[in-house]
Copies of this chain bind each other. A is one copy, B any other.
Amino acid sequence: MPPSSTVENYLKEVYLGVGRLPAGATLLPMGQLASALGVAPGTATTMVKALAESGLVDYEPYNGVRLTAAGTRLAATVLRRHRLVELFLVQVMGMRWDEVHDDAEHLEHVVSDRLIDRIDEMLGHPETDPHGDPIPGKEGTIRERHFETLLTCPVGTRVVVARVSDQDPVFLRFVERHGLKPGQVVSVEARDEVADAVQLRGADETLFTLGARAASKLLVDVTPEAAAAATPAAGRSAAPRR
């Protein structure tokens, strides 16, 4: 039997949750999983025990949960569907990047292999979704690149936004308004630890400030090649990735 939407959501959230863990940690605490899924803590515990039975996760009581190889494979295909659908909705259906997440959240559970392959093909086998998140390969392979953030990248250099790690429409629109979509160029003018903020200069030379929390959500590519490739098109158009 195919995994239920619920199982798919749990696995996906374990994958994403583990990814956001502080360096070193590999076990996602149940509380975090529960709140990411919007269920009561006890519900997550029960469900995770069942997933462990099925060999999809490793579960250490009181410590947390992590995906097995099988679980990772499954999470990857869900993520692949989610992200291909998002990109499809933006690129083909002309929807805005801030409104596609919710649709994808549902569609990810029902698009058939046939259909997802057509989408993948139609989009030219893309590597990242509209938010810069990597699209897992057909066989469940995920290549997560490591990025700096606007909080950690070198000051004074032109960097290219690679990924925005927050799906909130309000935040995404804010990001767009300031020319910080994936593919766009920006540079950190100054960083003020005390004020908890960073001074930025956009592609159009405008200056603006971001709080640390927001700045840390913007992952950037600091390699010179990225800056070179991105420079030409400075506008707000559909972000040219890679």
Contact = CB atoms under 8 A, between A and B. Distances in A.
Interface stretch (A35-43, A107-115, A127-135, A201-209): A107-115
Contacts of A107: 107, 110-111
A110 B103 CA distance: 8
Nearest to A5: B110
A94 interface: yes
A21 interface: no
Interface string A98-142: 010011001101111011001100100000000000000000000
User: How many copies of this chain does the complex contain?
Assistant: 2
A95 interface: yes
A76 interface: no
A93 interface: yes
B122 A112 contact: no
B110 A95 contact: no
A105 to B, nearest CB: 9
The range of chain A's interface size is: 10 to 19
Contact of A106 (B93, B110, B119): B110
B112 A110 contact: no
Interface in A80-99: 89, 92-95, 99
A93 to B, nearest CB: 5
A92 B119 CA distance: 10
Contacts of A114: 95, 99, 103
A106 B111 CA distance: 8
Interface string A145-174: 000000000000000000000000000000
A103 B89 contact: no
20 contacts: A89-B115, A92-B92, A93-B115, A93-B118, A93-B119, A94-B118, A95-B114, A95-B115, A99-B114, A102-B112, A103-B111, A103-B112, A103-B114, A103-B115, A106-B110, A106-B112, A107-B107, A107-B110, A107-B111, A110-B110
